[in-house]
Chains A and B, each alone.
Chain A
Amino acid sequence: MISGTPSSRSASASEGSDELLAGLISAFHSDLRRIARCERFRVGAGATLCTTALISEAWIKLQRAPGWENEQHFLATAALAMRQVLVGDAERRFASKRNAGAVPISLDEEIDAPDEADEQILQVNEALERLAELSPRLAQVVECRFFAGYSEDETALALGITDRTVRRDWVKARAWLYRALGEGAPDDAGEVSGAASA
């Protein structure tokens, strides 16, 4: 189809990040899913280098799409996109476990068994939503480091802060999540620093 008058073009260029995020997710769904799979490995074991390559690739392919303000904007949006794919996949696997046998499994999507990594992803995701209310930046750092697998440098670039700040934020956010997820303190379930009843 031939489409797009000048006016519709300028409209799409000025649309917000939601549009870009959706574009990124749909254009790179399988790539992002591959990342997600690596990330799942990462949660349980072993570092990964896959994000860097795929993000670079995505950037090369998408940099000419209208609406990207700059590399920083791109990286931050890509991190969010990866979080969504990762969480979406984990949810899907959980759902497929519950529905095992009841729902035909699509042939072109590989659905493997949910595992403890999925559970952790979902838990972190949920806790992160709460952390975002307290400190959006800490939550973003986790998004970049944990979900997107960015290095400290890449995270610094994505968020426009120094790598020293990234290191410190990561330490704090991790400590907060550690408590929020009740790691090492099972009795303390649900108690959240900063939102604790006073």
Chain B
Amino acid sequence: MIAEAPRPGGDAARFARIEALLDAALDQPSQARQVFLEQACVDDPAMHREVLDLLAAVSASEGFLEAAPFLPQAAPAPTLGPWRLVRPIGRGGMGEVWLAERADGRFEQQVAIKLLHRLGAGEDTGFLREQRLLARLEHPGIARLLDAGALPDGRPYMVMEYVDGAAWSNHIRSLAHERRLALFLQVCDAVAFAHRHLVIHCDLKPENILVRRDGRVALLDFGIARRLDGEAGQTCDLRLTPRYAAPEQLSGEARSTLTDVYALGLLLHELLTDRSPWGELVGAGPIAMLQRARMGPPPPPSACAPSPARARLLRGDLDAIVSKALRPEPAARYASVEALAEDLRRHLAHRTVAARGDALGYRLRRLLRRYWVAAAAVAVVFVGLVAALSAISLAHEEALRERDIAQTEARRSKAVRDYLALMFRDAARSAGEGTPLTAKAVLDQAASRVAADFSADPATSAAVLKALGELHFHINDYAAAVPLLRRWLEHEADIADPNAAADVRFTLAEAVHRMGQGEEARRLLAAAQRYWETDPPRHADVLLTSRMLQARLQREDGDPEGALAVLEAALRERRARSGDEHYETAALLTNLGAAYVQSGRLDEGIDVSRRALALWERLQLGAGNDALNTLNNLAAAYFRKNDLERAEETFARALDLRRTLFGPSAATAALIGNYARVLQRLGRWDEALALGTEAEAMALAHAGSSSLLVQAMRVARAETLLALGQPGPAREALEAFSREDPAPLPVALRLRAALGTAEAAQRQKDRPAAADALAQAERLLGEAGAEAVEHAARLEALRRALPRP
């Protein structure tokens, strides 16, 4: 026993010496350790004894606190019912697998017995139900379940058909490409069969596939499979193999047959390339891998091919098939394992595959053969993309040569805009043939292509990656733009182009700002401006452009007057530099108009916005993105002035235009949301609710749950619901609002949310919540100042309705 009070410092120092001696001893060959310690501790026998003790404990404790085998190794051939266990053949998270044979000698049969860990309370009935389900799975491609039961101590076991086969990974290595695919199709058939019987596998991976001597596959380990008819199980999670897991498994969302489609996609990828699609990530820890899987499909097989010849074989159909199976969002994958198998069979038969149905170049070639006329419009879009991209890279080279950044910048932006204008026009025109060809589809296609090329040739791809990020940004698909731009920044050191890096940071700042991440936007913008300000004359144009974002951030930071001053100064400088009839002048006017409106100077806002709109039309961009934003701002100003008739008319015009030209996007959502608010004000509540709900779903998909856009829509929807007499749903909308951190949002919005919560709670007779929310609203009203005057009356009314305690 310890005789005296411990002396932590002294003990720790002493223990450090013991540890060091133990380390040194362990570094010696085992037969030399005794002698070594005798010499090392010659003048401290006590320490010598302790280190010797610990050394003895090192070998004695082997296996201590670690996984112990289920059954004692020494036990001579234990039996389980009619089965005698021969030897352990595998071990996993759920238990151990033993090879076993008939103990009664009546006939020769080998089986694999899975011994599972003890089940928790209530799990055993589920286990038995599952066994009955699995016993029904009689398919040559699935190892059969023969029997199941429980040991006397309650641990369940399963008796499975013993498959004497080759490991999947070893077997396919010796096979040629087409034989591999044929084998993979067998796997698909077996999984599809299980799906038809309402069983999903959830853990498909090479280790669970064997190839019998006769060349047929056998899937193992349906032991963790779950039924499809609604019994969500937890067990699946526990067996997760991150390397073969689908994103929805990783984030704990619902698993389905599409989870197996994803795993099959990974299996196919590996089969085609002889390596894991996640490449070096496999060793980088599971978290890194999970994050990566959620970002998008891995690089296509052709980019991972071991040889150029193999890459050629994979490019095209197989790349498309794999990437369709590996979409992070289940709904974008093949709808079933059968559909995946069918596409592979079509590929083997040299027929067109469904996975490439939306691939532009592929469709283009097919169309060209069939309908010249219909193809023409598509071709124009495609050529437009190529032209814009080459103009961009040309401009980039010139920039390096001439150091004339301002001019090349302008040309580059113009190339992007020209291309976009062209693309939108043609997107509208070509919408007739089959699925409409949207700008987004064109860009997505281009983005997946550049993603594939990037690993092969980063230097060339960098410029295209950047342009595509910008293009996605220009069509307001921020969720798509952000990863492209971040990807560029990851390679920043290799690309070694500080000018382009500042550009990318700027675009990324714009994108993340619109996704509601103001802090990051500020940081990115400041970094870009710091670079530009090292040589202001050279970067004058882009600096001026960046003032618009700077002003927006400043306003959101609670400095509307400062923001206005920044814009007014920028506009003066811009006019002096570029004249009145200039794209950037129009953009600044648009922003200034918005800033006036947002600081309550409505007449100035309306005046400036109308001038901006006229300028857009003179620049022949009256149907472009910027003009649409201007219309939106103008309508907002009318709305604030309570000129509802003009507001409704302007919004209707803007929305009509946008719906014609663009697919769903954050900006479209914003516009629909604004229109809904006008209808709200006009008392057309049902229309307002329908549009507001549509807008919110769209915004959620394109801007993210914490974005200002979605948050504002939640509040507006709550207000509409309150007007329709539905305080319950209204409160749910506002609870969703509060679940995201509302602190960075504008005070006025938080005020409206508080008022809505107060009203809803009051109607629900939830007095404490109403009082809380009202107190909150009062505080926010004080904070908001002039911006929120219009809400004061409502607050007052609510306050009167709620008697003070």
Residues in A lying within 8 Å of B, measured CB to CB: 1-6, 8-9, 34, 37-38, 41-50, 52-57, 59-61, 71, 110, 112, 124, 133-135, 138, 142, 145-146, 153-154, 157, 168, 171-172, 174-179, 183-184, 189-198
Instruction: Tell me the nearest residue of chain A to B737, going by C-beta.
Output: A2
Residues in A with CB closer than 8 Å to B793 are none
Interface assignment of B286: CB less than 8 Å from any CB of chain A:
yes
Instruction: Tell me the nearest residue of chain B to A174, going by C-beta.
Output: B61
Specify which of A2, A38, A135, A192 is in contact with B238 (CB 8 Å cutoff). A38
Whether the Cβ atoms of B285 and A172 lie closer than 8 Å is no
Specify which of B53, B65, B92, B93 is in contact with A43 (CB 8 Å cutoff). B65
Sampled A-B contacts (20; CB under 8 Å): A2-B780, A34-B234, A45-B70, A49-B240, A52-B242, A53-B242, A56-B240, A60-B250, A60-B251, A61-B251, A112-B121, A135-B19, A145-B65, A175-B58, A175-B61, A177-B61, A177-B64, A193-B50, A197-B2, A197-B4
Whether the Cβ atoms of B58 and A171 lie closer than 8 Å is yes
Whether the Cβ atoms of A50 and B15 lie closer than 8 Å is no
Interface assignment of B22: CB less than 8 Å from any CB of chain A:
yes
Whether the Cβ atoms of A178 and B287 lie closer than 8 Å is no
Interface assignment of B6: CB less than 8 Å from any CB of chain A:
yes
Interface assignment of B135: CB less than 8 Å from any CB of chain A:
no
CA distance in complex: A97, B368 (Å)? 78
Tally of contacts, chain A with chain B, CB under 8 A: 194
What's the nearest-Cβ distance from chain B to residue A156, in Å? Answer: 10
CA distance in complex: A196, B14 (Å)? 10
Residues in A with CB closer than 8 Å to B23 are 168, 172
Whether the Cβ atoms of A71 and B15 lie closer than 8 Å is no
Interface size of B by CB at 8 A reads 72
| Among listed B192-200, B494-502, B750-758, interface-contacting one | B750-758
Q: A3-B738, A34-B234, A133-B11 are in contact. Are A47 and B743 (CB under 8 A)?
A: no
Residues 723-774 of B at the A interface (beta carbon under 8 Å): 737-738, 741-743, 750, 753-754, 757, 772-773
Q: A9-B743, A174-B64 are in contact. Are A56 and B290 (CB under 8 A)?
A: yes
Point out which of A53, A135, A193 has the most chain B C-beta atoms below 10 A from its C-beta: A53
Residues in B with CB closer than 8 Å to A157 are 285
Interface assignment of B390: CB less than 8 Å from any CB of chain A:
no
- SS of A interface (majority): helix
Whether the Cβ atoms of A184 and B60 lie closer than 8 Å is yes
Residues in B with CB closer than 8 Å to A37 are 120
CA distance in complex: A5, B743 (Å)? 6
Interface assignment of B776: CB less than 8 Å from any CB of chain A:
yes
CA distance in complex: A21, B242 (Å)? 25
What's the nearest-Cβ distance from chain A to residue B175, in Å? Answer: 30
Interface assignment of B96: CB less than 8 Å from any CB of chain A:
yes
CA distance in complex: A108, B780 (Å)? 40
What's the nearest-Cβ distance from chain B to residue A27, in Å? Answer: 12
CA distance in complex: A179, B56 (Å)? 10
Interface assignment of B252: CB less than 8 Å from any CB of chain A:
yes
CA distance in complex: A12, B220 (Å)? 49
What's the nearest-Cβ distance from chain B to residue A160, in Å? Answer: 13
Whether the Cβ atoms of B241 and A49 lie closer than 8 Å is yes
Interface assignment of B57: CB less than 8 Å from any CB of chain A:
yes
CA distance in complex: A128, B2 (Å)? 16
Whether the Cβ atoms of B22 and A192 lie closer than 8 Å is no
Residues in B with CB closer than 8 Å to A57 are 237, 250-252
Whether the Cβ atoms of A135 and B12 lie closer than 8 Å is yes
CA distance in complex: A138, B19 (Å)? 10
Whether the Cβ atoms of B1 and A190 lie closer than 8 Å is yes
What's the nearest-Cβ distance from chain A to residue B705, in Å? Answer: 11
1/0 contact trace for B246-258 toward A, CB 8 Å? Answer: 0000111000000
What's the nearest-Cβ distance from chain B to residue A7, in Å? Answer: 10
What's the nearest-Cβ distance from chain A to residue B199, in Å? Answer: 21
What's the nearest-Cβ distance from chain B to residue A189, in Å? Answer: 8
Q: A60-B251, A175-B58 are in contact. Are A2 and B18 (CB under 8 A)?
A: no
CA distance in complex: A43, B482 (Å)? 45
Whether the Cβ atoms of A45 and B11 lie closer than 8 Å is no
Whether the Cβ atoms of A178 and B64 lie closer than 8 Å is yes
CA distance in complex: A138, B575 (Å)? 68
Residues in A with CB closer than 8 Å to B122 are 110
